[in-house]
Amino acid sequence: MTVDRLTRVPGLLYGGDWNPEQWPEQVWAEDVKLMAEAGVNLVTVGVFSWARLQPDSHRRDFGWLDRLLDLLQRHGIAADLATATASPPAWLVRAHPELLPVTADGVRLEFGSRQHYCPSSTAYRAAAVRLTRMLAERYRDHPALALWHIHNEYGDHVQECFCPASAAHFRRWLRERHGTIGELNRSWGTACWSQGYGSFEQIEPPRTAPGPVNPTQLLDWRRFCSDALLALHRAEKAVLDEVSPGVPVTTNFMSMLKALDYWEWSRHEDLVSDDAYPDPADPRAHVNAAMTYDLMRSLKGGRPWLLMEQAPSAVSWRPVNLPKRPGLHRLWSLQALARGADGILHFQWRASSAGAEKFHSAMLPHRGTASRGWQETVRLGAELRRLGELAGSRLHGRTAVLLDWDSWWALELDDHPSARMRWLDLLRPWYAALYERGVTVDFVPPGADLDDYRLVLAPNLYLLDTATADRLTAHVRAGGHLVCGPFSGIADRHDHIHPGGHPGPLRELLGVVVDEHWPIPDGTSTAVTLGGATGAAPGAAPGAGAGDRELRAEHWSEWIETEGAETLARYASGALAGLPAVTRRRYGTGSAWYLSCHLGTGIGRVLDLPLAEAGVGAELPGLPPDVEATRRHAADGTRYLFLLNHGPAERRVPLDAPGTDLLTGTAVATAATLAPLGAAVIRIPAAEERP
């Protein structure tokens, strides 16, 4: 079941994790009263309640949760009820010490924190499924129940385990994937370094070894670890689907997490939800947050998603934890809505007085209702009520970014030409360039249908199968535009080099061949001149000076030769001086671009060319600096234009249609004025055509 909305809660969702087991019941009464005051309509309960629900192997205590859910119901607040399985209780751990996870060095991690379980432990899994069933059977018809919340942040603290049970599970997984040991040997390339296996029984997880471990073994291990956690999730999901059909189920994702293939995971979610903790100390945090939110929206093809957790102010787990200055939390919350979220939830409702997270901010801070934080909580709740009508509306980009976890994992394996080629480092400047140009981006998996997109960006496709390459080629032939970043088309799904020269299956489409990789040493850079060694860049703004054509390649460059592509930029210093750096090949009725280097923040000046060629522009032309603009579309044709000012100066934004700012209730005609950290959400009726 995939859902667009929680049918039991109208409008936008607002609330947070509530951990009532940390408080005497008298406090609950005050909690629900204050929740109502703040406009909270959904709280996540039970995330860390296992020890309270099952105090020992044969006792259960659900009475408190009965009372809690009844209390919520009486106050009109819905529950996102957790299955409570993220932290197994001490009695279970002591009865089954083998369920504790083991590191690659053989250290068994102790009880005393959270997420202390081996993903392949049968004892853990059986107990988790049992608890899920008890909760589902007891609460499936409870009127407060709006959403099931499986576990909590899979992969947060423990992403892999190297114990004997994991090893056995890995072997079973390998047998299923490869069929025979001969196939596995071929896939892993075990002829190298005398690693051949005679049987699956001889295989172990990639524990700490004397030197580099077989890369395909490591790649299969990454795949296995994502699958092993997903199997746990699916076991709980199956129980909920069976016992409590009709109630949607989610688990909270962790933004751009390398460990879990969220394309695969999201197929098993009814609703995507995410935990996002942009750092108030990072002046570019909102750009990375936008990128994450675009991914969350894209995971279910543009359906609304839920911001399940964010900090109302400071977190407690960075070395230095800055609070959010006044207005920042509101702005960042609106940003999630601007990028397709239908709800804003937090960690957590009431600040803890004990335990590891007592210095984490909360919707209700330690100081109580006199605090600045509480004022912001109440204000945000009121504003979300004013924005309720936009629930269910959607936004889509015309530009797609290809994201493939398999390729991400393979790219970052050891013993490559440079350890600096990290997926997020490659992706971020591309995304930032589009963000700064006001272009809305969707993420797509390698198998996606690309028909909706005029422009497809692939900052890196180290691992690329021929089916994906064929799809990209067909897209360009039919008039699409593709921009492909360096070190792409290198390996097949076994991490074997494609024969015949890089970029392998993209060589013909891109019209280039890579002769050799030339990583650039840290702290140095290579000059790149747009427009080749001479002449202006095609599509460069009239009057663009030579300075606008000078870019710097960092960390990576390639010796490439063209085979049908034209050269748009050349290396201008170093060993590759004079050789092509950026190329374009006209192919069919589209074009395919290749960037052979990492251009850091200069990438925007290159991307301007394919953007222009593809006819992809800003969501709202003429945006002043620091202002983010997105547009959500309702089924009836109403549009909601979000304008967010992330900068310290007031900004005036020219509008392309008149409307009403839902935050203030005032009409806006030709321009909106945004205070520093200010925002507007402008409803534009269907009848108002863009000029």
Q: Which is nearer to ligand GLA, 347 or 431 (CB)?
A: 347
Per the CB < 8 A criterion, the answer to whether 151 and 251 are in contact is yes
d(C-alpha 417, C-alpha 518), whole Å: 8
Q: Which is nearer to ligand GLA, 44 or 583 (CB)?
A: 44
CB of 152 to ligand GLA, least distance (A): 5
At 151, list the tokens: 């576990």
CB of 336 to ligand GLA, least distance (A): 15
Location of structure tokens 């052979």:
596
Q: Which is nearer to ligand GLA, 256 or 455 (CB)?
A: 256
Location of structure tokens 């309702």:
634
Q: What is the CA angle 499-500-504, rounded to 5?
A: 75
Q: Which is nearer to ligand GLA, 23 or 277 (CB)?
A: 277
d(C-alpha 13, C-alpha 199), whole Å: 53
Closest to 363 (Cα-Cα) out of 343, 342, 388, 380: 380
CB of 361 to ligand GLA, least distance (A): 9
Residues in Cβ contact with 218 at an 8 Å cutoff, skipping those fewer than 6 apart: 206, 413, 414
CB of 144 to ligand GLA, least distance (A): 21
**Catalytic residue status for 242:** no
Pairing state between β 671-674 and 651-654: antiparallel
From residue 595 to residue 614, the character string flagging contacts with ligand GLA as x (rule: CB under 6 A) and all else as - is --------------------
Q: What SS3 string covers 590-649?
A: EEEEEECCCCHHHHHHHHHHHHHHHCCCCCCCCCCCCEEEEEEECCCCCEEEEEEECCCC
Q: Which is nearer to ligand GLA, 357 or 425 (CB)?
A: 357
List b or e across 352-367, with b for residues whose CB sees 16 or more CB atoms inside 10 angstroms. beeeebeebbbbbbee
How many helices and strands (H and E) does the chain possess? 18, 27
Catalytic residue among 153, 160, 236, 613: 153
Q: Which letter does DSSP use for residue 248 in this model?
A: -
Q: Give the one residue of 44, 116, 147, 153 binding ligand GLA; rule: CB under 6 A.
A: 153
347 is a contact residue toward ligand GLA (CB under 6 A)? yes
Catalytic residue among 309, 558, 613, 628: 309
DSSP string computed for 500-540: TSBTGGGHHHHTEEEEEE-PPPTT-EEEEEETSSSSPPTTP
Q: Which is nearer to ligand GLA, 275 or 406 (CB)?
A: 275
**Catalytic residue status for 153:** yes
Per the CB < 8 A criterion, the answer to whether 7 and 306 are in contact is no
Within 302-360, residue ranges assigned H as helices are: 328-338
Closest to 47 (Cα-Cα) out of 61, 32, 65, 63: 65
Q: Where are the beta strands (DSSP E) in 211-325?
A: 249-250, 252-253, 273-275, 305-309
Residues in Cβ contact with 612 at an 8 Å cutoff, skipping those fewer than 6 apart: 539
Question: What 3-state class would DSSP assign to 442?
Answer: strand
d(C-alpha 295, C-alpha 339), whole Å: 10
- The H or E element that residue 552 is part of is strand 550-554
Closest to 383 (Cα-Cα) out of 29, 17, 39: 39
User: Which amino acid type is present at position 627?
Assistant: V
Q: Which is nearer to ligand GLA, 87 or 407 (CB)?
A: 87
From residue 97 to residue 136, the character string flagging contacts with ligand GLA as x (rule: CB under 6 A) and all else as - is ----------------------------------------
Diameter of the chain measured on Cα atoms: 80
Q: Give the one residue of 54, 121, 152, 440 binding ligand GLA; rule: CB under 6 A.
A: 152
Count, residues near ligand GLA per rule CB under 6 A: 10
| Subset of 55-94 contacting ligand GLA (CB under 6 A) | none
| Subset of 261-320 contacting ligand GLA (CB under 6 A) | 275, 277, 309, 311, 315
d(C-alpha 407, C-alpha 446), whole Å: 10
Q: Which is nearer to ligand GLA, 350 or 360 (CB)?
A: 360
DSSP string computed for 130-193: HHHHHHHHHHTT-TTEEEEE-SS-TTSS-S---SHHHHHHHHHHHHHHHSSHHHHHHHHTTTGG
Q: Which is nearer to ligand GLA, 16 or 504 (CB)?
A: 16
550, HSE (Cβ side, Cα atoms, 13 Å): 8
CB of 317 to ligand GLA, least distance (A): 6
Per the CB < 8 A criterion, the answer to whether 442 and 401 are in contact is yes
Active site residues: 153, 309
Contact residues for ligand GLA (CB under 6 A)? 152-153, 275, 277, 309, 311, 315, 347, 357, 360
